[in-house]
Amino acid sequence: MEKTKYQYLEESDQDLGLPQPPLELSCPEGAEVVSLPKIEQIKTQSLDLTEAINRRETCRKYRREALTIDELAYLLWCTQGVKRVTSRPVTLRTVPSAGARHAFETFLLINNVEGLQPGLYKYVALEHKLRVVNLKAGLAESIVQITGNQKFIADSAVTFIWTASIYRMKWRYGERSYRYIHLDAGHVGQNLYLAAQTVGSGVCAIAAFDDDALNDLLGLDGDEQFAVYLATVGKV
């Protein structure tokens, strides 16, 4: 924390005139993608914000009922949805981010979502689509072990895994970026907690995990890209 104070910061790459990194990690050529329902076509329960805040609580027990693809698309939009891309360019999303840098990428452990094969997916926010990452068996059990045997992960309909592409933030803010991504994680997590109320679901945010093991499972280097936060979602 001390070394991320302003007096220790050097000129950022933005100040040095270096080109900014892409707004989102590119999709590998030939990757299998799944289109998601457009947000304006999705119908959800109308819920007063005060009631949603009052009802918000951590939930680790879920019914076996599946999430619909509409409900998953809605939760993705609420947590990382792109409202528009400006001329700077930056993305303006449904959550705040320092300098609109939006360093997060969203992986999903899908266990029980209608129309989707169980496995690991990644949200392509700019296109509002899912990319298939890994459909091999046993992924849920592996993540249970990585998180210190939190077995309810395997019982969730979906587990969100937010990772940081840190240079997207560091390009502007240098070492102070490591503060900002954790602030951003709080914004994203709370949006998920509140949005889940409108689709009859509960959430449990998770910060306890073996960093290196989770990064390895996701195919991340743990330096430029690394896991920050998880959250389970399931019907209650």
**Is 32-235 assigned to CATH 3.40.109.10?**
yes
For residues 158 and 118, what is the distance between their CA atoms, to the nearest angstrom? 9
Determine the pLDDT at residue 205: 98
Q: How many CB atoms lie within 10 A of CB 234?
A: 28
165 by DSSP, 3-state: which?
strand
pTM score, two decimals?
Answer: 0.97
For residues 172 and 13, what is the distance between their CA atoms, to the nearest angstrom? 6
For the chain, the farthest-separated pair of C-alpha atoms sits apart, in whole angstroms, at: 53
Tokens of 71: 């409900």
All structural domains of the chain with their residue ranges: 32-235
224 by DSSP, 3-state: which?
coil
Q: Are 140 and 154 in contact (CB under 8 A)?
A: yes
For residues 17 and 25, what is the distance between their CA atoms, to the nearest angstrom? 21
Per-residue pLDDT of the chain (236 residues; tens, 9 = 90+): 999 999 999 999 999 999 999 999 999 989 999 999 999 999 888 899 999 999 999 999 999 999 999 999 999 999 999 999 999 999 999 999 999 999 999 999 999 999 999 999 999 999 999 999 999 999 999 999 999 999 999 999 999 999 999 999 999 999 999 999 999 999 999 999 999 999 999 999 999 999 999 999 999 999 999 999 999 999 99
Query: Which of 131, 138, 130, 124 has the alpha carbon at shortest distance from 217?
Result: 138
Helix 177-197 to helix 69-80 angle (10° resolution) is 140
Determine the pLDDT at residue 45: 86
Query: From the centroid of its chain, how far is CA 69?
Result: 17
